[in-house]
Amino acid sequence: MSQMPIRDSSSNDEAPGQSGNRHSIAARKIRALRIRALERRIKELRDNANACLSYLALLRSDNSETAARNRELRSRLQAMEPPPTAGNEDPTSGSADMKP
């Protein structure tokens, strides 16, 4: 039985253009892998951006509610304080003009 010689695929006795084809195919595969990786990263970033926007909307809503509550409490506090009257000094003010 006659054996055929084993051909080394890395040898330079390939048909012209065949090596270039292999290189081109490999380069296309690498580009396709990079593109898929970038597309996955873009999706991750978009998902993250959407989550951040949702959280920002929640924080803005909480801030608005807190500001409204703060205004309400200030108004109630002012309603509880007696109005200042002329000649009636606040004894807790610590005025230096008062004599013992």
Phi (first) and psi of residue 27, to 5 degrees: -65, -40
Write down the residue that tokens 């290189």 correspond to. 23
Structure confidence by residue, pLDDT tens digits, 48-74: 999 999 999 999 999 999 999 999 999
Asked whether the beta carbons of 83 and 77 are under 8 A apart, the reply is no
Residue 51 lies in a domain: yes
Asked whether the beta carbons of 89 and 95 are under 8 A apart, the reply is yes
Cα–Cα distance, 86 to 2 (Å, whole number): 125
Cα–Cα distance, 6 to 77 (Å, whole number): 96
Residue 11 lies in a domain: no
Determine the pLDDT at residue 19: 77
Residue 46 lies in a domain: yes
For 49, the domain range is 19-79
Number of domains in the chain: 1
Residue 45 lies in a domain: yes
pTM over 0.75: no
pLDDT average, residue stretch 7-31 = 74
